[in-house]
C-alpha cells in the first residue's frame, strides 16, 4: 500500500549478541595490551606517544562500537552496519598502534620494550 510507512530492515537479535560478544572480547584484549604496555617500568620517550595515540584512538572507537551495540536501535541494519564499520576502523587503528610499538621496540627507538 502506498500510504503505509515502510518498516526499517532489522537484524536478528542473536546475530547482534554474537557481534557484541566478539567486540567485547577484542576490546578486552585491546585494553589488556594497552595496560600491560603502559605499565612497563622503563622510561617513556617522545616516540612512545605515536603508538599511545593510535592505541587510545583505536580503543576509543571500539568502545563507541560496543556502546552502540548495547542500544536498542542497534538492531536496525543501517545502525548495525555503521557500528560494524566503526569497530573495524578502531581495530585497524589499534593494529597500527601495536605495529608502531613493535617497530619502535625492534628498531630501538623506544625504551618501552615489548619483548622481555
Is 100 contained in some domain? yes
pTM of the shown model: 0.87
d(CA 87, CA 90): 5
**Domain count along the chain:** 1
What residues contact residue 76 under an 8 Å CB cut-off, 6+ apart? 8, 9, 10, 11
pLDDT value at position 55? 97
Asked if the model's pLDDT at residue 116 lies above 90, the reply is no
Is 86 contained in some domain? yes
Is 38 contained in some domain? no
| SS3 at position 116 | coil
pLDDT digits 0-9 by tens, 63-114: 999 999 999 999 999 999 999 999 999 999 999 999 999 998 888 888 776 6
How large a percentage of the chain has pLDDT more than 90? 66
pLDDT value at position 29? 96
Is 35 contained in some domain? no
Domain hosting 107: range is 46-116
**CA atoms within a 13 Å half-sphere pointing along the CA-CB vector of 6:** 4
Give the residue-averaged pLDDT of 15-25. 94
Is 27 contained in some domain? no
Amino acid at each position: 500500500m502506498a500510504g503505509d510507512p515502510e518498516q526499517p530492515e532489522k537484524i536478528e537479535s542473536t546475530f547482534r549478541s554474537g557481534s557484541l560478544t566478539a567486540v567485547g572480547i577484542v576490546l578486552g584484549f585491546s585494553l589488556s595490551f594497552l595496560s600491560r604496555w603502559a605499565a612497563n617500568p622503563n622510561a617513556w620517550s617522545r616516540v612512545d606517544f605515536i603508538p599511545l595515540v593510535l592505541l587510545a584512538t583505536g580503543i576509543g572507537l571500539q568502545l563507541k562500537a560496543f556502546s552502540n551495540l548495547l542500544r536498542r536501535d542497534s538492531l536496525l541494519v543501517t545502525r548495525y552496519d555503521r557500528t560494524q564499520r566503526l569497530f573495524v576502523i578502531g581495530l585497524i587503528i589499534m593494529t597500527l598502534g601495536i605495529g608502531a610499538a613493535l617497530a619502535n621496540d625492534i628498531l630501538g627507538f623506544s625504551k618501552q620494550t615489548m619483548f622481555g
